[in-house]
Structure 1
Amino acid sequence: MLDKVYNTLKGAHPHLHVFKKEEMPKRLYFANNNCILPIILFSDPGYVINGFLPVQFNAGEHGFDNEEMDMKPIFRAVGPALQKNLEVGPFETVNIYPLMCHILGIKPDPNDGHLDATKHMLVSATEEMKLQTCKKSPPSFTVTCRHSFVYRSPALQQTNCLLLQPNISHFVQSTCCHFSAPQFLCFRA
């Protein structure tokens, strides 16, 4: 019965794409998901798959091929872990999850994304350079953080370094310091 439905739909319309679950293009990340039905349909942009019920379009539709330019979202992110004023080319949105997990220092659940696709957005290159300096001659002082915006990445946790963020007051040796640019402070544990 499934093959009959598949064969009937396969040539039904030139703007209708019909796949068996196992035939789905790998880039769509459908084949290994238990929630995906055995037959998948999607249409070209400008076309909608509809049954007998009237369709009302309020703001648009979804479910088109993610290689279509109209399906490409805008990604904008700002924060202490990300490079400032960086403009990047297109990347798959499945790669946002591992990036966010890395920034938050949590282990991601199994997923189709890859941190390698987005790690160039991180301040890690600068961070690594500063860490090398920190490792060579760490100064001895006490850091007391009285603000929740001190960023301590997984890489920094291994080296006793803190990245103090701009426009946030931090207390170093009981002296309030206000930085206008990110500063890396290293201390002896």
Structure 2
Amino acid sequence: MTEPERVDCTDCFALPGPDNTRVAYVKTGGGISETWHTPDCPALAITQINMEEGSERVREQDAWAWGAFPAAHERLRKAAAAMPTGTAAQAFHDEHGHLDVPIDHIDTVGFELGRFITTMRDARTAELDALGMIWDKHDAAWRARLTAAADYHHAHGHLAHRPPPPPGRSSPNSARSPPMTASTRPVLPT
């Protein structure tokens, strides 16, 4: 196992220690990044708030999914409970906490778990699409924000952060002054 990459907190610059808190992240390309914080570090407080909000959102989404798709939710719960211990998928899940297996992942006995999971996903795509599966969370969030921006633009005629100035008045930044040159620069008294 590789050593985690240590990233210093820009607020408290804490070092590993018994009184400090370690926050670790699994990086997208693999590996672990860790940051240590003192108990009174503002960055730690923000991280904890974000984690609590994220957990609350997951609980809300799970409750919504249970209400919207009870049969699918029950099938997934039964499938997870029925996953035999000792399988490649169970071992991967135990180690990583999820089954977002890279396609090229091969387990210790040579089983191509990544290819198997990808094939299973592809086989269930139509069924999951019918249930409203979101395949790319980032794309879905981007499209939701784009829709909100388009709705705002349609309602207000602009995407300006501030409302436009009243008719007949210009904003202070609308007419740019020409750049100063030696001939236009004011002469200061000496």
- TM-score (normalizing by structure 1): 0.24
Q: If you compute each CA radius of gyration, which structure gives the higher value, 1 or 2?
A: 2
- TM-score (normalizing by structure 2): 0.24
The structure, 1 or 2, with the larger RCO (C-alpha pairs under 8 Å, 6+ apart) is 1
| Structure ranking higher in strand proportion | 1
